[in-house]
Amino acid sequence: MVLSRESEEFIANLRMYLMTSGKNDHEINEIAEELRGHLEDAESHGKTVDSVTGGSPQTYLENISNEMKTDYFGLVRLAPMFILLLIAYFITGSAIRGDLNFSLLKLIAYPAIALLSIGAYIYFFRKMSVANYSKKKELSIFIALQVIITLSLMAVLFMDIFFFEPFYIPSRETMWVIAALGALVFIAGAIWSKTWFTLILPLFLFGPDFILQFLQYSETTELIISASGLYLGFGIVVLILYWQNKKQNPHKL
Amino acid sequence: MSSSQMLKGILDGCLLGIIHKGETYGYEMIEKLEIYGFRMVSEGSIYPVLMRLQKDGFVHSVMKESPSGPKRKYYTLTPAGEEEYEQFKERWESLSHSVNRLVKEEN
């Protein structure tokens, strides 16, 4: 049976809220399944999602969340792979291009920005799962976040170029080894998370750089090819995600 | 105090009572409660309680595909749950007895 859009959104929000509260995946699936079943019965009797939440999704989600224990061990288990993936995203591109170097600023600023942006994303995901924002507002928040993150990364990059001396520049051979390790991390990450885009995204991000290392083009041409490869990649990933979502939730979006 | 607020404290015991009558799932519990005259502010309020009962080891649950409707989670009482229900009945017996005596005397 197909659920109404409001009920589908409620289930999605429930998952998001519990996930960002660090609850166990298996338990999340169980309560989501159970409530979906209830909503199907309720809707076939002409009731709405309000009959479940009592009109306040926030209070209801908090009540559910309070009865589930927080899966700290699960969170700790996620951390190593997550940190490895973050590092790989930061250094694989430079290692392929051959301009990898380590400075004090990068060592401090990059992890700080990464942690802050993850914190900001989790904060807004939680907020959005209980507040009924319009799609437009949700999208603007994401774009604003993304712009702020990109700008701060660029600021660090410029400050690094002008004011900081790298304390370590690996040899070209070492950089290739680092790039290969990065690729291994992406493959391991994709297998571990069982999601294909964790592999496709780096492929588009760093693939063009890799191929360009073996071709002789002017720097401008290289930059254009590299950038368009990146945007093309993002476009394709977003499009496929959209189609997948549409297939799973035919009446949504 | 609204009746739903009063119900909050004894909903655990009432659900044990409903499950005691035979294996059942969430939506059916609501319907059964309604037959007894319970009117819930929100039907969803039974699920946090069911989670707590399961955590305390009073109920056992199993997911079953139903031929027509959605996948359903069926609950049964564990021996500890039966024990807890017996104790609930005793507590309710003495509490309702006292409340009744008080209220009727006033009239």
CB-CB under 8 Å, B26 with A60: no
- CA-based nearest distance B53→chain A, Å: 10
Residues in chain A closer than 8 A to B69 (CB atoms) = 1, 37, 40-41, 44
Which positions of chain A have pLDDT values less than 50?
251-253
Residues 6+ positions from A154 with CB-CB distance below 8 Å: none
From CA B37, how far away is CA B28, in angstroms rounded?
A: 14
DSSP H/E element including B82: helix B79-106
Residues in chain B closer than 8 A to A38 (CB atoms) = 26-27, 43-44, 47
B71 touches chain A (CB under 8 A): yes
CB-CB under 8 Å, A64 with B51: yes
- CA-based nearest distance A241→chain B, Å: 27
CB of B10 closer than 8 Å to CB of B38:
no
Give me the residues of A, 53-72, that contact B with CB < 8 A.
53-55, 60, 63-64, 66-68
Residue type, B58: F
CB atoms within 10 A of CB B73: 20
Quote the pTM value. 0.70
- What is the 3-class SS of chain A, one letter each residue? CCCCHHHHHHHHHHHHHHHHCCECHHHHHHHHHHHHHHHHHHHHCCCCCHHHHCCCHHHHHHHHHHCCCECHHHHHHHHHHHHHHHHHHHHHHHHHHCCCCECHHHHHHHHHHHHHHHHHHHHHHHHHHHCCCCHHHHHHHHHHHHHHHHHHHHHHHHHHHHHCCCCECCCHHHHHHHHHHHHHHHHHHHHHHCCCHHHHHHHHHHHHHHHHCCCCCCHHHHHHHHHHHHHHHHHHHHHHHHHHHHHHCCCCC
Which residues, in sequence order, are bridge partners of residue A23? A70
- CA-based nearest distance B48→chain A, Å: 5
- CA-based nearest distance B1→chain A, Å: 17
Residues in chain A closer than 8 A to B67 (CB atoms) = none
Measured between CA atoms, the residue of chain B closest to residue A62 is B48
Give the closest of B42, B48, B63 to A33, CB-based.
B63
Quick one: pLDDT at residue A212? 81
Q: How does pLDDT run across A231-246, given as a tens digit for each residue?
A: 777 677 777 766 766 6
A2 touches chain B (CB under 8 A): no
CB of A246 closer than 8 Å to CB of A253:
yes
pLDDT (tens place) for every residue of chain B, 107 residues total: 677 777 777 899 999 999 999 999 999 999 999 888 887 667 899 999 999 999 999 999 998 887 776 788 999 999 999 999 999 999 999 999 999 999 988 65
Residues in chain B closer than 8 A to A28 (CB atoms) = none
Measured between CA atoms, the residue of chain A closest to residue B70 is A37
CB-CB under 8 Å, B69 with A41: yes
From CA A132, how far away is CA A238, in angstroms rounded?
A: 24
Residues in chain A closer than 8 A to B63 (CB atoms) = 30, 33
CA A195 from centroid of its chain's CA atoms: 12
CB of A85 closer than 8 Å to CB of A139:
no
A40 touches chain B (CB under 8 A): yes
Taken in order A133, A118, A174, A172, the sign of the CA dihedral is: positive
- Backbone angle region of B62, left / alpha / beta, with phi > 0 → left and psi within -120 to 50 → alpha: beta
Fold of B3-106: Arc Repressor Mutant, subunit A (1.10.10)
Q: How does pLDDT run across A162-215, given as a tens digit for each residue?
A: 888 888 889 999 999 999 999 999 999 888 877 777 788 888 888 888 888 887
